[in-house]
C-alpha cells in the first residue's frame, strides 16, 4: 500500500472515530440525569460535547485547524475533569482526543506540504 492511500485511510479512520466519540458523549450527557430533571435542564451538561462535535465538523473541512482545536479540547478535559487524578478519565477521554487531534494535525500538514 502506498503512502497516499494509507494516509487517506488514517485520516478517514480518525475523523469517523472522533465523530462517533463526540456523538456518543453528547448523547450520554443529554440522557444522564434526564429522568430526574428533564431533557432541557441537561443541556448545560452537554455544552462541552457540543463544542467537541463542532471541532470534529471543523476537522472535516479544515483538517489542521480542527486537529489543533481537538488537541486543545483534550487538554481542556484534563483540566476540567481533573483527569490527572482519575486515570480512567485520562485514558478514556483526554488521551484519545489529544492523540487523534495530533494525527489529524500532522497528516494535514503532510498533505499541505505534499510530503506523503
Percent above pLDDT 70 for the chain: 97
| CB count in 10 Å sphere of residue 3 | 10
Q: Which residue has the cell 452537554?
A: 46
Q: What is the DSSP letter of 39?
A: S
* pLDDT band, very low/low/confident/very high, at 78 (cuts 50, 70, 90): very high
Average pLDDT over residues 97-108: 95
Distance CA 81, CA 100 (A): 19
Q: What pLDDT does 1 receive?
A: 63
pLDDT value at 115 more than 70: no
Tell me how far apart the alpha carbons of residues 31 and 107 are, in angstroms, rounded to a whole number: 35
Chain position carrying cell 481533573: 82
Residue-wise over 25-46: b if at least 16 C-beta within 10 A, else e?
bbeebbeeeeeeeeeeebeebb
Amino acid at each position: 500500500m502506498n503512502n497516499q492511500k494509507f494516509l487517506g485511510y488514517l485520516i478517514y479512520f480518525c475523523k469517523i472515530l472522533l465523530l462517533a466519540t463526540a456523538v456518543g458523549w453528547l448523547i450520554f450527557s443529554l440522557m444522564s440525569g434526564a429522568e430526574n430533571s428533564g431533557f432541557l435542564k441537561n443541556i448545560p451538561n452537554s455544552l462541552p460535547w457540543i463544542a467537541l462535535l463542532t471541532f470534529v465538523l471543523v476537522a472535516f473541512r479544515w483538517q489542521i485547524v480542527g486537529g489543533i482545536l481537538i488537541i486543545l479540547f483534550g487538554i481542556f478535559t484534563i483540566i476540567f475533569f481533573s483527569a490527572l487524578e482519575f486515570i480512567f478519565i485520562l485514558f478514556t477521554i483526554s488521551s484519545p482526543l489529544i492523540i487523534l487531534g495530533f494525527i489529524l494535525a500532522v497528516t494535514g500538514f503532510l498533505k499541505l506540504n505534499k510530503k506523503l
